[in-house]
Amino acid sequence: MANADITQIDAAGLNRVRDLALVIWPAHYAPLIGAELIPPMVADMYSLDTLGADIRDRGHLYWIASVDGKDVGYASAYLKDGRLWIKKLYLLRSVRGMGLGKRFIAAIRNHYGRQHPQALYVSERNETAIVFYKSQGFAIESLEPVQMGPYHFEDYVMVRAGQDAAP
C-alpha cells in the first residue's frame, strides 16, 4: 500500500471533511438517491457549523485518511447508550479496496475500546457498503426510517458485538 495514514482531527480540520464530502457524496450517492438531493443534503450535513456541533455538542470524534499526503477519506464516531456508533465512514472511490475502511474501524475501536458493541446506519440501497460491513462482522439488526433535512429514507442499523480481542 502507498504511504497511508489515519489521524484523528479536531475542529480546526473539519474543512478537510467538508471538502471530501463535496467530492465523495455526489459520486457515490447520486445513483442511490438522485443527484438533485445531494447538494442540499451535503450543504446541511457538512457545513462547518454542523460538523463543529458534532464535536462540541454531540461528542463526535473525527478521523481523516490520507495516502501519500492527500486526504482520501473520513470517519466519525461517538458513544451513546452503551454502543459505539460509527456515524460516518467514507472513502474516495480511487482508494476503496486498500484496507482503509478496516483501518478506520480499527482506529475507532482502539480509541474507544473493543468492549463496546459497534453500530451504524447504512442506506438500504447501499449494497457495496452493506457487503463491506458484513465482511467486518456487522449484521443487520433492523430497518429504520431516517430523516436527513426534509428527506426521508430507510436505513439498516448494523451491529457488531464488542470484544476484548482483535478481530
pLDDT digits (tens, 9 = 90+) for 21-54: 999 999 988 888 888 889 988 998 999 999 999 9
10 Å CB burial of residue 78 (0-12, 13-18, 19+) is middle
Confidence label for 167 from pLDDT (cuts 50, 70 and 90): very low
User: Cα–Cα distances in Å, from 98 out to 1, 16, 72, 127?
Assistant: 7, 20, 11, 18
CB 119 within 8 A of CB 159: yes
Rounded-to-integer distance, Cα 125 and Cα 95, Å: 21
- Between the alpha carbon of residue 129 and those of residues 14, 75, 158, the distances in Å are 23, 14, 11
Mean pLDDT of the chain: 93
- Give 165's pLDDT tier (boundaries 50, 70, 90): very low
CATH code for 4-160? Answer: 3.40.630.30
Q: Which of 39-43, 99-103, 118-122 has the lowest mean pLDDT?
A: 39-43
pLDDT at 1: 54
Q: How far apart are CA 83 and CA 89, in angstroms?
A: 17
| pLDDT at position 93 | 94
Q: Quote the cell numbers at residue 10.
A: 479536531
